[in-house]
């Protein structure tokens, strides 16, 4: 299955006989069969007809709409949503159980930190000249993992505190891997102010899209998370699911810049914002598709035990309800 990227200014996207028609402002016409498409990423300004939306939904494909020069998320339509409400009912019960919530949150955070530690270990092999900074980062991640393995209960705020301290140390080490042209002095966003952060923001956005779609396909509610608290307008479970994918995003940004597959000329400035230009985005989409297969496997692997736990929690709830009747 494939991802279709539609990144053409003022294009009009229509559907006809199982095919998406992309009409360019210059009169060009491109045709793409919908059958193999699992995801569609649309970056505007462009027009998507209702027929095209219906065709994408009918295909069970997910749709991500990005708008503005910075490519902000305007909306996500998750395709092929699971219809078993019992899974969501169990998910709600797990989210209300402090012990279950803590266990799931710990597991999510542990997977992320292990991935970041592996990335720094790879960085050390490639850049032994950066040994001191990379070892400091690995030590900070090891300390955070040790706290997560400890027997003491950890409140949500404590877990986020561990995550925040580890992230600060990690990104200090990560900066040592990047070339000076990346301009990276730490994580920033809304807007990203340097090439490295521009790539990280785009990668995280695409990973979040994958997480929302995967959660809905599995029957889970993307808004009910465990590490990330409920917040209006936020898909907290998707935020949880993205955490273990972040090292994959960070590795991609690092390698694209280190190998000069993306260079300074691929980026422009708009005030404080650093923007990835059209040619750069096309190169990034291709690289993302090459790198994303492990992320999708990680998502499936992370969702399976959560779905099993949600089904079990729902079964227990229904049994209690029957016993009270």
Residue positions forming the annotated binding site for Mn(2+): 163, 228, 243
CA separation, residue 201 to residues 2, 5, 57, 155 (Å): 22, 17, 27, 28
**Tokens 């959560």 — which residue?**
306
CA 192 to chain centroid, in Å, comes to 16
159-196-130 Cα angle (round to 5): 80
Beta bridge partners of 21: 14, 31
Reduced to 3 states (helix: H, G, I; strand: E, B; else coil), residue 112 is helix
- Describe the chain by its helix, strand, coil percentages, rounded to 5: 60, 15, 25
Closest CA to 253 of 266, 240, 241, 269: 266
Beta carbons within 8 Å of 104's beta carbon, 6+ residues apart: 94, 226, 227, 240, 306, 309
Binding-site positions read 163, 228, 243
Closest CA to 241 of 272, 216, 265: 216
């Amino acid at each position: 299955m494939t991802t279709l990227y539609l990144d053409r200014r003022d294009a009009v996207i229509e559907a006809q006989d199982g095919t998406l028609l992309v009409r360019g402002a210059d009169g060009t016409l491109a045709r793409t069969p919908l059958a193999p498409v699992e995801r569609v990423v649309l970056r505007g300004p462009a027009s998507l007809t209702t027929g095209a939306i219906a065709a994408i939904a009918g295909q069970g494909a997910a749709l991500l709409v990005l708008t503005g020069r910075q490519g902000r998320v305007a909306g996500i339509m998750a395709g092929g949503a699971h219809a078993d409400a019992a899974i969501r009912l169990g998910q709600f019960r797990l989210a209300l159980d402090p012990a279950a919530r803590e266990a799931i949150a710990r597991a999510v955070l542990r997977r992320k930190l292990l991935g970041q530690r592996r990335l720094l270990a790879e960085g050390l092999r490639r850049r032994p000249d950066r040994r001191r900074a990379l070892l400091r980062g690995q030590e900070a991640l090891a300390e955070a993992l040790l706290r997560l393995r400890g027997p003491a209960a950890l409140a949500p705020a404590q877990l986020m505190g561990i995550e925040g301290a580890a992230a600060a140390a990690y990104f200090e080490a990560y900066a040592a891997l990047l070339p000076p042209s990346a301009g990276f002095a730490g994580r920033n966003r809304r807007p990203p102010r340097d090439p490295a952060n521009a790539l990280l923001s785009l990668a995280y956005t695409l990973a979040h899209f994958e997480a929302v779609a995967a959660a809905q396909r599995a029957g889970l509610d993307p808004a009910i998370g465990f590490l990330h608290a409920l917040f209006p307008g936020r898909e907290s479970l998707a935020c949880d699911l993205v955490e273990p994918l972040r090292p994959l995003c960070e590795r991609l940004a690092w390698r694209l810049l280190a190998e000069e597959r993306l260079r300074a000329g691929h980026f422009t400035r708009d005030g404080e914002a650093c923007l990835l230009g059209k040619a750069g985005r096309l190169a990034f989409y291709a690289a993302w598709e090459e790198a994303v297969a492990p992320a999708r496997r990680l998502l499936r692997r992370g969702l399976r035990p959560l779905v099993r736990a949600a089904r079990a929690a729902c079964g227990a709830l229904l049994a209690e309800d029957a016993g009270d009747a």
